[in-house]
């Protein structure tokens, strides 16, 4: 046998191997990026994103007017008088009065159609915040509004839940608003 005889298979250099591994890694990251973008687009999810700006814009257009209206209704003299007259009634009776007042408010302002998309948007914001893959950077700024929105419009939301909407319609909003409310109450902030 001769020394240094060529066996027919060239040895790969370390730089060639590194180049191949780098190309595979870049391809995998690119495919993952396209996969995430596809998933986000098709399913309306926000994987590995911070959709704060997008959510804030939609919220300001859709939900904020309802929340502002609920604060205004809470200050209306006729509403306060009706609640005052019902102070000796059961909590269920008072809740029915509140639901009726807010339902009338929605009808008068022609806002009934905005409840469902508002609930869906607020639930997307909550779900994003609760996800491992998504964050809303100013989530705490929604806190009082989430509580106000649920407790003001829960009568209408519960009616929708019982009238052909999904059986869990508004349930994410309900549980988060209740959690926030009880947390605030425990901290001494009953507002």
- Determine the pLDDT at residue 179: 95
Closest CA to 154 of 175, 137, 180, 130: 175
- Determine the pLDDT at residue 35: 60
Got the DSSP string for 4-25?
A: T---S-PPPPHHHHHHHHHHHH
Contact 98, 79 (CB under 8 A): no
Contact 51, 58 (CB under 8 A): no
Any bridge partners for residue 49, and if so which? 134
The contacts of residue 80 (CB under 8 Å, 6+ apart) are: 74
Sign of CA dihedral 125, 112, 67, 62: positive
- Determine the pLDDT at residue 106: 92
pTM: 0.71
**Encoded tokens for 150:** 């649920």
d(C-alpha 175, C-alpha 148), whole Å: 13
Question: 189 by DSSP, 3-state: which?
Answer: coil
**pLDDT 10s per residue in the chain (191 long)?**
555 555 555 565 667 777 777 777 777 666 765 565 565 555 555 555 678 899 999 999 999 999 999 999 989 998 889 888 888 889 888 888 888 999 999 999 999 899 999 999 999 999 999 988 888 889 999 999 999 999 999 999 998 887 766 788 999 999 999 999 999 999 988 66
Sign of CA dihedral 174, 138, 127, 118: positive
Kindly state the helix (H) or strand (E) to which residue 104 belongs, with its residue range.
Answer: helix 91-108
In the block, which residue shows the tokens 């999810």? 45
Got the DSSP string for 121-150?
A: HHHHHHHHHHSSSB--TTGGGGHHHHHHHH
Report the length, in residues, of the chain: 191
């Amino acid at each position: 046998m001769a020394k240094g005889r060529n066996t027919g298979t060239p040895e790969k250099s370390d730089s060639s191997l590194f180049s191949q591994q780098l190309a595979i890694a870049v391809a995998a990251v690119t495919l993952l990026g396209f996969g995430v973008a596809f998933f986000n687009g098709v399913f309306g999810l926000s994987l590995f994103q911070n959709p704060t700006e997008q959510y804030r814009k939609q919220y300001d257009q859709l939900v904020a007017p309802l929340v502002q209206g609920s604060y205004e209704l809470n200050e209306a003299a006729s509403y306060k008088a009706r609640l005052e007259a019902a102070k000796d009634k059961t909590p269920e009776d008072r809740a029915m009065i509140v639901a009726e007042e807010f339902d009338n408010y929605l009808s008068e302002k022609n806002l009934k159609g905005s409840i469902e998309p508002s609930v869906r948007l607020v639930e997307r914001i909550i779900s994003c915040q609760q996800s491992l893959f998504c964050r809303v950077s100013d989530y705490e700024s929604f806190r009082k509004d989430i509580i106000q929105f649920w407790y003001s419009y829960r009568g209408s939301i519960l009616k929708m839940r019982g009238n052909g909407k999904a059986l869990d319609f508004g349930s994410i909003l309900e549980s988060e608003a209740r959690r926030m409310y009880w947390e605030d109450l425990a901290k001494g902030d009953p507002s």
